[in-house]
């Protein structure tokens, strides 16, 4: 599975640049109340100016039988230093009894929803994609949060995301560094496009990020702890 997803990322990058690409793979196991419920994988290929990535979320065990939620998507775009800006994004979300697909393109960092299927009637809570300038896709945002970073970039990110219907944000706070380990608090916040019941349920989800220094001096995100709508959750890095 991992090799297949990475091959997709490399294939996406190949047409846009003749330069050699660097490949990276990030895998995290997802636990709720100590039970493993899924796996998150992000595979990325990048040059100095371009990137392409594939992301996948797979539910496992009992959850896959009673509340299946799988995600499979790809993105390609351009990059400058630690900033990643999508140009083409597509994803398919699989629930136990349904499937939805979204495709977006970007111009001047403004998303355009080319497809969101199945279609539905407009709602009062809907947001205008043309007003979501600067918001990135879910895969690009995941990579920016999960990737290894130098000490000076620890916990300095504020990323706004747009999935085709909903806008949200992840914000990190100043790190606490102790030797080769570091941690910082962060917040995921629902901003717009969510249902009235979702906004009434909860809008802000605090989390804690735990890092360890690697041999190259960069810090690696080893785990994330948070309280989700289904209970205490944790993501753990798997090499």
Q: Which of 88-92, 103-107, 118-122, 213-217 has the lowest mean pLDDT?
A: 118-122
Helices (H) and strands (E) in the chain, counts: 4, 14
Mean pLDDT within 124-147: 95
Average pLDDT over residues 12-24: 62
pLDDT at site 59: 87
Which neighbouring-strand residues pair with 217?
Answer: none
Closest to 208 in 3D by CA, of 174, 183, 230? 183
Average of per-residue pLDDT values in the chain: 88
Res 224: pLDDT? 96
231, pLDDT greater than 70: no
Q: How high is the pLDDT of residue 233?
A: 87
CA 59 to chain centre: 16
Q: What is the mean pLDDT of residues 180-192?
A: 96
Q: How confident is the model at residue 1 (pLDDT cuts 50, 70, 90)?
A: very low
Predicted pLDDT of residue 5: 46
pLDDT at residue 52, rounded to an integer: 95
- Dist CA 59 CA 81 (whole Å): 33
43 or 68: whose pLDDT is higher? Answer: 43
Burial (CB count within 10 angstroms: exposed 0-12, middle 13-18, buried 19+), residue 239: exposed
* pTM, 2 dp: 0.88
Between 164 and 15, residue with greater pLDDT: 164
* Three-state DSSP class for residue 189: strand
Residue 133 CA to residue 147 CA, distance in Å, equals 24
If pLDDT is split at 50, 70 and 90, which confidence band does 3 have?
A: very low
The alpha carbon dihedral of 234, 139, 24, 218 has a sign of negative
Q: Distance (Å, rounded) from C-alpha 180 to C-alpha 199?
A: 39
Residue-level pLDDT at 32: 83
Average pLDDT of the segment spanning 199-207: 92
Nearest to 51 by CA among 80, 72, 27: 80
Closest to 187 (Cα-Cα) out of 210, 167, 207: 207
| Maximum C-alpha span of the chain | 54
Mean pLDDT of 52-59: 93
Among 5-19, 65-79, 82-96, name the one with the lowest average pLDDT: 5-19
pLDDT score for 82: 84
Q: Does 4 score more than 50 pLDDT?
A: no
Banded pLDDT at 6 (limits 50, 70, 90): very low
């Amino acid at each position: 599975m991992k090799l297949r997803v990475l091959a997709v990322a490399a294939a996406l990058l190949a047409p846009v640049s003749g330069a050699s690409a660097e490949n990276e793979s990030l895998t995290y196991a997802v636990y709720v109340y100590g039970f493993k419920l899924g796996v998150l994988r992000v595979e990325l290929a990048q040059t100095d100016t371009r990137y392409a990535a594939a992301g996948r979320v797979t539910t496992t065990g009992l959850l896959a039988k009673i509340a299946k939620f799988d995600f499979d998507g790809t993105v390609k775009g351009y990059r400058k230093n630690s900033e990643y800006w999508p140009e083409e994004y597509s994803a398919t979300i699989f629930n136990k009894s349904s499937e939805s697909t979204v495709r977006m393109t970007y111009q001047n960092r403004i998303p355009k929803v080319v497809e969101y299927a199945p279609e539905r009637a407009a709602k009062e809570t809907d947001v205008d994609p043309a007003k979501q300038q600067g918001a990135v896709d879910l895969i690009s945002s995941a990579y920016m949060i999960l990737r290894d970073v130098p000490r000076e970039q620890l916990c300095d990110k504020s990323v706004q995301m747009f999935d085709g219907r909903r806008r949200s944000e992840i914000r990190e706070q100043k790190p606490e560094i102790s030797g080769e380990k570091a941690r910082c608090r962060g917040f995921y916040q629902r901003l717009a496009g969510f249902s009235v019941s979702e906004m009434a349920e909860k809008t802000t989800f605090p989390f804690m990020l735990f890092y360890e220094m690697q041999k190259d001096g960069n810090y690696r995100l080893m785990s994330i702890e948070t309280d989700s709508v289904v209970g205490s959750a944790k993501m753990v890095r798997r090499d």
